[in-house]
Structure formats: C-alpha cells, structure tokens
A and B are shown apart, each in its own frame.
Chain A
Amino acid sequence: MHEYSIVQALLTQCEDIAAKNDANAVNSIEIKIGVMSGVESHLLKTAFDTFKEGTVCGRSQLIIHEQPLKILCNECGFESEVPVYKCSKCESLNVKVVDGEDMYLMRLEME
C-alpha cells in the first residue's frame, strides 16, 4: 500500500504551494495518474481522505484524471492509446512512451 506514502508526498506538496500563495485552504486538487504508474486510483482516494484531516487540504476534493498509456510508434509515427507497449497500427514494439507512466499534480484551487 504505497498509496499512503504517495498521498503524504502529495499533501506536503499542496501545503508548500498553499503557504507560498498565502492561502488558508485548498478547495480542490487535480492530479493525473498514469495507468502504468503502479498506483491504484481508488486506493489513492481512500488514503487521501484518511490523511487530509488536519491539513490545509482538510476540506479538499481530490479529482483524479486517469491517464491511459499513450505511445508513439518509432516505425510508422502512429500514436496509440492502448494498454500495451505495441503500436496498434503496425504492431511494432519500437515505441516511445508519451504519457501514462507517471503521477502529476496538475491544478490547485485555493482560498
């Protein structure tokens, strides 16, 4: 359950940004979770609701955008959104990952 550690990192990040902006509260947090990041969105959500208490994010809503795996084919140039590392047009395995393997904080609404 490394989702708990990831939420701790996210909360620290939000607290830093809120402090830099002299905000009293964070209303909503938008994150992007790649399907190949190794993190389960529903576990992340549960962990967030457990740990947000008593932080500047205590009343925040967590909005999770699940990012499918996006690959660019080095052979034919086609961009596919498929759950495998294989071009869906020419079936080449020579592909570059464009998105879907990382976790990003995207947007914060504060007041």
Chain B
Amino acid sequence: MCTDCGCSIRGKEDKHHHDHEHHHDHHHNSHEHQKAHSHIHNNPHLNDPKTITVIQKILDKNDHEAMHNRSHLDNHGVLGINLMSSPGSGKTTLLEHLKDVCEFNYGVIEGDLETNRDAERLKAKNIPAMQIQTGSACHLDAFMVHKGLHDLPLDDIDVCFVENVGNLVCPASYDVGTHLNVVLVSIPEGEDKIAKYPVMFRKADLIIFTKVDLLPYFDYDIEKEKAVARSLKPNVDILELSIQDKDSLRQFAQWIEFKRKMRG
C-alpha cells in the first residue's frame, strides 16, 4: 500500500513508494531541480512580513499523483495512453474498432462531461471501460484517473487508454500519469488546428489524422498540416486513419505493440 495515497493497488512488486519521492523533477534542468528541493525552514514567531522564495511547480501535486499512476501501470505491466482531441474527432469510435484488429487486451478510462454513453459504447464491445464523470470539468487530472485505475481489471489488460475530455486546450496542462500522449485531429475540423493549439500538439507522441476517408470532400492540405506538426515537434509520429480502412487501424495497433515491447 502506498502510504501517501493510501491505496492498495498491488502489482508484482510494490516499489512505487520508494520511487516517486525523488523522481518528480528529473526532467528539468538540475538548477531548477535543486531550487525546487530547497527546504523552507520553520519560523515559529512570524510577526514581521517575510518573503520566501519557493520554486515549485503549481501542479506539483498533480504531477506526483501522475507518477503514482505510472507506477501502478508499470507494476501491472500495462502501457498507458492518453487520447486527446476536440469533441467528436473520433476517439471513442477508434477505441471501438481497434479491438477488431489488435492482439493485446485493453481497457478504457472515459472522461465525459455528463453522460456515460462513451463507456456504454465500449462495454457493448466487451471492452472494460470505467466512466469518470467529470461534471463541468474541462479536462481529466491525475487524481480522477487514479480512481479510474482502481476500477479497471489491470491484471487482465495490456494497455490502458484514457479518453480525455474533448478539448484541445485544458487537457494539455495535465499529466494524467500515462506513458504516451496520442492527439487526434479530424479532417472535417479544417486546417490550422495544429497551428492554433501548439501547446496540445507539442505534447503528442503520435498525431493521428482521423476521418481521412473524407479528404475528397474537404479542402484540406494534409501534407501542409503534417509540416506544421513537424515544425512544432520534429520527432512526432504521424498516422492517417479511417475507420473504413482496416490497414490504418492495424498500423495504430502496430505502433502500440512497438511501444509496448520497448517498455519490456
């Protein structure tokens, strides 16, 4: 059991508590890292105004919880993938159809504003799905996803998708504790989405252009959009996908398989 979160998800080996304390700032340069760790000393008689310097990420509690989530996933050998896009870009549809072409088992944590429709759609296809009702929230955070993880059969799945709230702004600020970010952008949304939401597309490990079967009906220069994506993030992976094209679905499944193997 993790003494910080009080949760009892257990995998083969529960090394999570020892890990997280020292990991949070390692992505940043060591200068900031040191400052973030400088301690604030107690001052029992604070009568005069006092200014203290505390360099701390504003979302550090969320980031810590995100690390817990990754340990939970790691302990169960599950790869976590955060799916983000505008409303209606095809996240749930993709998750419904992926099952027909992939060999791994997956579960889904669904973020939906008010309903549990998306989760019902997945359960109808025998995909374990857990709906987080976010109410009026515009994004999922690591705490919400943590609850979802407890309700998914982690021992029976290889991949855990988080279908984030349909929104290209807010979810970009939150690490939910997955390993990879996949951002969808559909042809009918029109050009310029990538240029208008650079923060989101910078976070992507993979960008999927969805509904490419509709390209003949839209004035959409997909090569130009790919160039925009690569100018923001030169090493981003890119896939073109249509639900009608099984090969494109298989390519997505293969990308996931590859990432799974790379995590041992």
Contact = CB atoms under 8 A, between A and B. Distances in A.
Best-buried of A36, A37, A38, A106 by chain B (most CB within 10 Å): A38
B173 A36 contact: no
A91 B12 CA distance: 48
A56 to B, nearest CB: 12
Nearest to A12: B61
Interface string B20-51: 00000000010000000000101111111111
A21 B46 contact: yes
B61 A9 contact: yes
B102 interface: no
A2 interface: yes
B46 A2 contact: no
B204 to A, nearest CB: 13
Interface residues of A, number: 37
Interface string B61-101: 11000000000000000000000000000000000000000
Interface stretch (B152-160, B177-185, B217-225, B228-236): B228-236
Contacts of A6: 58-59, 173
A111 B49 contact: yes
A106 B57 contact: no
B52 A108 contact: yes
B53 A36 contact: no
B234 A94 contact: yes
B202 A9 contact: no
A53 interface: no
B199 A36 contact: yes
Q: How large is the interface on B (under 10, 10 to 19, 20 to 34, 35 or more residues)?
A: 35 or more
Given A85-B231, A110-B46, A111-B49, A31 B58 contact: yes
A37 B177 CA distance: 18
B40 A9 contact: no
B56 interface: yes
Given A37-B199, A86-B231, A110 B49 contact: yes
Contact of A102 (B57, B61, B172): B57
B120 to A, nearest CB: 27
A106 B53 contact: yes
Interface string A17-30: 10011111001000
B167 to A, nearest CB: 9
A84 B161 CA distance: 31
27 contacts: A1-B170, A2-B138, A5-B137, A5-B139, A13-B58, A13-B60, A21-B40, A21-B50, A22-B43, A23-B46, A23-B50, A31-B58, A36-B202, A38-B169, A39-B173, A85-B232, A93-B230, A101-B199, A102-B57, A104-B56, A105-B58, A107-B54, A108-B52, A109-B51, A110-B46, A110-B50, A110-B52
Interface of B: 29, 40, 42-62, 137-139, 141, 169-170, 172-174, 198-200, 202, 230-234
Given A2-B174, A107-B52, 12 more contacts: A2-B170, A6-B59, A9-B62, A13-B56, A21-B43, A36-B198, A38-B200, A85-B233, A103-B58, A110-B46, A110-B51, A111-B46
